[in-house]
Amino acid sequence: MTLHPSHFSAVLLFSFFVSIVLGITQRDEAKRMFKYGAAAFGLFVGSAIVLSWLMYFMAR
C-alpha cells in the first residue's frame, strides 16, 4: 500500500509540521507558541489557496 496524498493534503501536512517547529522555536511560553503556530498554519494554508487561484486564472 502506497500513500499518494493530493497536493492540498501535502500542503496541509507541510504547513502543520512547519508551524509546530516555528511555534516551538520562535516563542518562549506555551500559550504564545500555540498562538504563533496556529497563525503560521493559517497563513501557510491561506496563502497556498490564494496563490493557487491566482495561478489558475493566469493559466487561462
| 18-33 burial: b if 16+ Cβ within 10 Å, else e | ebeebbeeeeeeeeeb
What the block records as the C-alpha cell of 27 is 516563542
In this predicted model, what pLDDT tens digit does every residue of 2-58 receive, in sequence order? 788 899 999 999 999 999 999 999 999 999 999 999 999 999 999 999 999 999 999
> To 10 degrees, the CA torsion angle through 48, 50, 56, 57?
-160
Task: Report the C-alpha gap between 14 and 20 in whole angstroms.
Answer: 10
pTM reported for the whole predicted model: 0.86
User: Do 8 and 49 meet the contact criterion of CB atoms below 8 Å apart?
Assistant: no
